[in-house]
């Protein structure tokens, strides 16, 4: 199987409905908010260092995630991982780690730290496994990674 990570510059040109439906079935609304915020201009990942990335398998989007300037701090050197989702059938195959690595590489271009928030035990384990540390510094942040 060949996976390819690509930057998404215009979400309206990407078939994402299947991921939105799957995420909602799992009880997550953040992908529907991604679509809504992209359409109304609230979140388009266009500031320096920001990017929305997808992983494709055989021309089908199987994972999505972005990195943006952290809206919960005035520190312009802190990024936030946003809207990170991997199709259930693709989990535990390295797809999430591949996407996370691409997001972190993008973040390193302009930021010194990246944060995220999750209330999922599986996501907590995923982030810890990939080098994030748990933090209680802010109610909007559960995990962070400081770049050297």
The CATH number covering residue 131 comes to 3.40.630.30
Distance in angstroms (rounded) separating the CA atoms of residues 144 and 133: 5
**CA–CA gap between residue 3 and residue 147 (Å, rounded):** 26
Q: What is the mean pLDDT of the chain?
A: 92
Q: Which domain holds residue 16?
A: 3-146
pLDDT exceeds 80 at position 1: no
Question: What are the tens digits of pLDDT across the range 27-52?
Answer: 889 899 999 999 998 888 998 889 99
How much is the pLDDT for 148?
Answer: 81
Q: What is the pLDDT, as a whole number, of residue 41?
A: 87
Number of Cβ atoms within 10 Å of the Cβ of 18 = 12
pLDDT digits (tens, 9 = 90+) for 76-121: 899 999 999 999 998 888 899 999 999 999 999 999 999 999 988 9
- pTM, full prediction: 0.91
Do the Cβ atoms of 4 and 56 come closer than 8 Å? Answer: yes
- The total number of structural domains in the chain stands at 1
């Amino acid at each position: 199987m060949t996976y390819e990570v690509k930057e998404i510059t215009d979400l309206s040109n990407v078939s994402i409905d299947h991921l939105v439906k799957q995420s909602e079935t799992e009880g997550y609304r953040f992908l529907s908010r991604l679509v809504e915020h992209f359409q109304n201009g609230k979140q388009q990942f266009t500031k320096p260092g920001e990017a929305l990335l997808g992983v494709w398998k055989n021309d089908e989007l199987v994972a999505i995630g972005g990195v943006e300037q952290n809206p919960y701090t005035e520190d312009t050197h802190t990024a936030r991982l946003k809207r990170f989702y991997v199709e259930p059938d693709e989990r535990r195959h390295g797809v999430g780690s591949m996407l996370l690595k691409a997001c972190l590489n993008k973040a390193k271009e302009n930021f010194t730290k990246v944060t995220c928030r999750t209330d999922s035990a599986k996501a907590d384990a995923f982030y810890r496994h990939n080098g994030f540390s748990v933090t209680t510094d802010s109610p909007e942040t559960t995990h962070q990674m400081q770049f050297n």
